[in-house]
C-alpha cells in the first residue's frame, strides 16, 4: 500500500539543455560529414576529428564529478552550505542485513540521510524501503539493475533503467525519487536527456570513502573527513558493503565517528531534498 496523502508530488519533466560539449560534438559530426561530401580526400582528417571527439566524450563520462555532459551536483547549493548543512548519501541498498543497522545508527544520532537504492532490490525488499522513508530519510534512484555496463547503454535502455527504478521506488514507498546517481558514477552523453525527461537531477559527491573495497574504517573515515566543510556530499554504501577484518560492514564502523566529526565541526546532516529545497 504505497501511496500516502503526504507523499511529495511526482517529479515533473524538466527542459533538456544540451551541454556545450554535446552541442559542439553534434556540430563537429555534421561538419565532418560535410567535409567528406565536399572534399572526399580529407576523410582521414574528418575521421580523426570524430574519433578525438568520442574520446573526449568518453573521458567526460568516466570522470564522475565532471559537468561536461550536463548538470551534476557535487556539493549542496550555497544556501545549504550557509546553513552549515552536509548530505550523507548511502548507495546500493537496501540490504536486509546492513540497512536496518544503518537506520538504527542514524536514529540514535537523530540524523537524516539520502539512500540511492537499486530498483530491483527495492522490489525484493519493499518493507525496507518503506522503513527508510518512515524514519524520515529519502529514497533516491540508483538505476533498476546497477549494471556495470550502464555507461554503455543507449537512450532506450537508459530510459528503462531510470524509469524502472522510479516505478519500483514509487510503488514501494509512495514517493518518486528526485535525484539520480549513476552506477559507479559512470555516464554517457545520452544520460542527461533521459534524466530531464524523468524530472531527475544527477548527483555525484564531494568525496567518497571507497567503503565497498576498503577493509579499514579508519581509512574510509579519513577520506570522508579530510577537509570536511559545509555543503559537502559524502558517499557511503549499505549495499555491496566492504567488511572489516572482523567481518563487520565497514559503514557500521565508520558512521559513528563520522557523525561525531560532523557534529564537532558544527555541521548538520540533512537529506538532499532538504539541502536543495
Q: What angle do CA 58, 62, 63 make, to 5 degrees?
A: 120
Among residues 166, 93, 100, which one has the least CA distance to residue 134?
100
Q: Which stretch binds Zn ion (CB under 5 A): 68-76, 84-92, 120-128, 172-180?
A: 84-92
Among residues 198, 193, 207, 71, which one has the least CA distance to residue 143?
198
* Binders of Zn ion in range 129-168 (CB under 5 A): none
Among residues 239, 232, 151, 234, which one has the least CA distance to residue 190?
151
Q: Which stretch binds Zn ion (CB under 5 A): 90-98, 226-234, 242-250, 258-266?
A: 90-98
Instruction: Choose between 133 and 235: whose C-beta lies nearer to Zn ion.
Output: 235
| Residue 181 C-beta: closest distance to Zn ion, Å | 7
Distance CA 144, CA 271 (A): 21
Distance CA 76, CA 232 (A): 6
- DSSP label of 11: P
Establish if 238 lies at the interface with Zn ion (CB under 5 A).
no
| Residue 66 C-beta: closest distance to Zn ion, Å | 18
Interface pick for Zn ion out of 85, 92, 192, 238 (rule CB under 5 A): 92
Contact 150, 161 (CB under 8 A): yes
Beta strands in the chain (DSSP E): 85-91, 114-117, 138-141, 179-180, 201-202, 207-208, 233-237, 268-270
Q: Which stretch binds Zn ion (CB under 5 A): 32-40, 58-66, 83-91, 125-133?
A: 83-91
Interface pick for Zn ion out of 91, 161, 194, 253 (rule CB under 5 A): 91
| Residue 64 C-beta: closest distance to Zn ion, Å | 11
Taking residues 170 to 199 in sequence order and writing x for each that binds Zn ion by CB under 5 A, - otherwise, the string is: -------------x----------------
Supply 62's cell numbers: 568516466
Instruction: Choose between 85 and 95: whose C-beta lies nearer to Zn ion.
Output: 95
Distance CA 51, CA 57 (A): 10
Omega within 30 of 0 (cis) for the link into 94: yes
Instruction: Choose between 81 and 120: whose C-beta lies nearer to Zn ion.
Output: 120
The CB density around residue 87, as the number of other CB atoms within 10 Å, is 28
Instruction: Choose between 46 and 165: whose C-beta lies nearer to Zn ion.
Output: 165
Instruction: Choose between 235 and 258: whose C-beta lies nearer to Zn ion.
Output: 235
Instruction: Choose between 92 and 211: whose C-beta lies nearer to Zn ion.
Output: 92
Q: Which stretch binds Zn ion (CB under 5 A): 6-14, 22-30, 89-97, 170-178?
A: 89-97
Instruction: Choose between 143 and 271: whose C-beta lies nearer to Zn ion.
Output: 143
Binding site for Zn ion (CB under 5 A): 91-92, 183
Amino acid at each position: 500500500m504505497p501511496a500516502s496523502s503526504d507523499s511529495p508530488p511526482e517529479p515533473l519533466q524538466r527542459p533538456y539543455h544540451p551541454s556545450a560539449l554535446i552541442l559542439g560534438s553534434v556540430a563537429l559530426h555534421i561538419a565532418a560529414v560535410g567535409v567528406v561530401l565536399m572534399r572526399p580526400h580529407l576523410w582521414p582528417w574528418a575521421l580523426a576529428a570524430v574519433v578525438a571527439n568520442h574520446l573526449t566524450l568518453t573521458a567526460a563520462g568516466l570522470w564522475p564529478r565532471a559537468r561536461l555532459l550536463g548538470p551534476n551536483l557535487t556539493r549542496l547549493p550555497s544556501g545549504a552550505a550557509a546553513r552549515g548543512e552536509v548530505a550523507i548519501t548511502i548507495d546500493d541498498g537496501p540490504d536486509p542485513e546492513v540497512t536496518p543497522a544503518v537506520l538504527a545508527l542514524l536514529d540514535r544520532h537523530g540524523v537524516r540521510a539520502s539512500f540511492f537504492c537499486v530498483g530491483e532490490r527495492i522490489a525484493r525488499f519493499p518493507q525496507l524501503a518503506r522503513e527508510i522513508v518512515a524514519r524520515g530519510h529519502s529514497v533516491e534512484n540508483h538505476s533498476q539493475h546497477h549494471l556495470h555496463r550502464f555507461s554503455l547503454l543507449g537512450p532506450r535502455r537508459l530510459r528503462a533503467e531510470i524509469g524502472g527504478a522510479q516505478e519500483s521506488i514509487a510503488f514501494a514507498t509512495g514517493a518518486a525519487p528526485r535525484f539520480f546517481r549513476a552506477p559507479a558514477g559512470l555516464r554517457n552523453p545520452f544520460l542527461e536527456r533521459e534524466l530531464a525527461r524523468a524530472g531527475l537531477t544527477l548527483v555525484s559527491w564531494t568525496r567518497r570513502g571507497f567503503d565497498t573495497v576498503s577493509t579499514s574504517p579508519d581509512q574510509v573515515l579519513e577520506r570522508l573527513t579530510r577537509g570536511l566543510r559545509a555543503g559537502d556530499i559524502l558517499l557511503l554504501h549499505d549495499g555491496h558493503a566492504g567488511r572489516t577484518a572482523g567481518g563487520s560492514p565497514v559503514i557500521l564502523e565508520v558512521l559513528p565517528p563520522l557523525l561525531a566529526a560532523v557534529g564537532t565541526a558544527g555541521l548538520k546532516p540533512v537529506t538532499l531534498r532538504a539541502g536543495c529545497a
